[in-house]
A and B are shown apart, each in its own frame.
Chain A
């Protein structure tokens, strides 16, 4: 059995007095799709962001593909290139065209030639269904289209693992599925994914494992089927009762 791709062990973090991550232990295997759910303020987004060190942590360790997370500088940048990240608010580069958004990383970080990068970018934009918008600017696209471009931008780096921080929470309801469809496609293609989301449908369709967090701790983990039908902890039962009654 190969070693897990992402390993968090004993990770702790405080925001001032607030202990946002309490002794987090989590390992994610290659090709695995892990959903992180939990009430707001449970630390799930913070955990997701510590994995590529957009958030610092105080104790514990995080390794990706066997390598511990570097502190700062060039090494950290190199590691981040291997970890894709999709944000709640898309964060496309507002002053660049859709195509330039996707080619920036491959050209500047992977040192690819412009023509090759653009060809690959167009293929990726085709895959997420926004190739015809390549020359537009982010503000000219709908939220769902922007988020699909953001996914293409991450994919262009050929990441080992992709992090999704509530990728559909800022979208209008009718646009959620177009983004989830792309994500389901990625999961089927074997991408390792850690997804913070409240989309239970996606969890059931694409996830290998559900991780439930509350108050900065991982309370329980199980397969989606098991978790949704037979949650063990009271916190999880309480949470599920609140979101599944609607």
Chain B
């Protein structure tokens, strides 16, 4: 074990995974919420646009989306997310495009998790909200979404767990995260392959299992009694 940590920068790989997961999760939550509002709102064109986004993105492999971000958007179209002339430009652009790809992809799943939450809110709740004179936005903010978020915690936990594990796809575009460490480790220290597998698996389980347990607990505690 000590050998591995001496030979490879395991901690920075783990750190990179956490970094990717944290910012992608925030991005996916924001964009996913906007998409969900578009899909349930009264404006037909937004409904269609939201549905088109979800269907396109959800049915595309994540590897494709992330490589598309780096190769098509960054290399081909020269879109820089980090300054071109900075010494860490290549690394920074890789990481940021990976976050964009992860965000875009998981936003579709967040949207659907939220919509399943919204479906747990009876239509009468929105009708009552409108009948006391709340506008569409107010009735979403005050009545529908607070209940929808609670109903969405359990499906959202699955999305977050998937997101954390899916950060490993960033290794396809050369981000030095946990899967990249695993590849290097297996290549240069095949004698330690079992240890490497166990270490990486352990890291992810340690990250995702408490999250799953906490969110399940939270969803039970906050459940709206009807």
Q: Is the CB of A91 within 8 A of B127?
A: yes
In contact, A94 and B147 (Cβ under 8 angstroms):
yes
Top 7 closest A-B pairs, CB basis?
A81-B133, A105-B132, A139-B225, A91-B128, A91-B124, A85-B131, A109-B133
Residues 86-118 of A, flagged 1 when their CB comes within 8 A of B and 0 if not, give 010101111100000000110011000000000
Residue numbers in B under 8 Å from A105 (CB-CB): 132-134
Q: In the complex, how many angstroms separate the beta carbon of A81 from the nearest chain B beta carbon?
A: 3
Which B residues are in CB contact (< 8 Å) with A195?
none
Which residues from chain B contact A109 at a C-beta distance below 8 Å?
132-134, 138
Interface residues in B, total, Cβ within 8 A:
23
Residue in B127, B129, B135, B142 whose beta carbon sits within 8 Å of that of A74 in the complex = B135
A-side residues, CB < 8 A to B, are: 52, 54, 72-74, 77-85, 87, 89, 91-95, 104-105, 108-109, 137, 139-140, 150, 153-154, 157
How far apart are the CA atoms of A109 and B226 in the complex, in Å?
A: 26
- B181-210: CB near A (< 8 Å → 1, else 0) gives 000000000000000000000000000000
Specify the chain A residue showing the minimal Cβ separation from B138: A108
> Hey, which bits of chain B sit against chain A, CB under 8 A?
42, 122, 124-125, 127-136, 138, 142-143, 146-147, 150, 224-226
User: Quick one: given A81-B132, A109-B132, A154-B132, are A91 and B138 in contact (CB under 8 Å)?
Assistant: no
A137 to B138, CA, bound (A): 21
CA A33 to CA B130, docked complex, whole Å: 24
Contacting residue for B132 out of A54, A74, A94, A157, CB 8 A: A157
Q: Is the CB of B133 within 8 A of A157?
A: yes
Contacting residues, chain B, for A79 (C-beta < 8 A)? 133
